[in-house]
Chains A and B, each alone.
Chain A
Amino acid sequence: GAGVSQSPSNKVTEKGKDVELRCDPISGHTALYWYRQSLGQGLEFLIYFQGNSAPDKSGLPSDRFSAERTGGSVSTLTIQRTQQEDSAVYLCASSFGSSGSNEQFFGPGTRLTVL
């Protein structure tokens, strides 16, 4: 595809359930980022993958959050035992190289609602 895609676009789940959010970056982009945007709040960095390097997980809010990137392409963000405060829009972005020197392209986001 031409841009970053994310699925699902919307996810409603019950508290305590696990969810998986998917991101397909732009082909050839080596860097992939996950962010969270809570209602009425700014964007928050979660995790950063660069090539085959170990990911920078410093933004993950708790150990219920994890992410992986298979084959240097598709990434999955997993939230275990979801809580109501996890409700937010989860955004994925990719860039050709690190964001320090390259423009990031954002996906449309996944809106997660935890009931």
Chain B
Amino acid sequence: KNEVEQSPQNLTAQEGEFITINCSYSVGISALHWLQQHPGGGIVSLFMLSSGKKKHGRLIATINIQEKHSSLHITASHPRDSAVYICAVSSTGNQFYFGTGTSLTVIP
């Protein structure tokens, strides 16, 4: 049983395309996190949100608490966006659960 489910697992896009990665969770949360991991690189926190929507540059994250669902959008995708995107939740019990990640490849 996975507390956090992501889709798709793999995604290939042409440069410039609009990209959406989805995350569903089954536990009560205090926050949801979107993380980015480049090949061979470390993990960077992109967003932490508990309601509504956040935007940073070409990245947008939304969350619907009632539906237990979040989406990460990338507008005008670029090859440098190629990475693994990981959804994670902080549960109300201070547990931390991770999705299995979405591997994104953006082709020039």
Contact = CB atoms under 8 A, between A and B. Distances in A.
Interface of A: 33, 35, 41-45, 48, 50, 56, 58-59, 91, 93, 98-109
The secondary-structure label for the interface of chain B is: strand
A99 B94 contact: yes
A99 B33 contact: yes
Q: Report the interface size class on chain B.
A: 20 to 34
Contacts of A105: 45
B98 A42 contact: yes
A59 B27 CA distance: 16
Given A35-B96, A43-B88, A101-B31, 6 more contacts: A42-B99, A99-B94, A99-B96, A100-B92, A100-B94, A101-B30
Interface in B27-48: 30-31, 33, 35, 42-45, 48
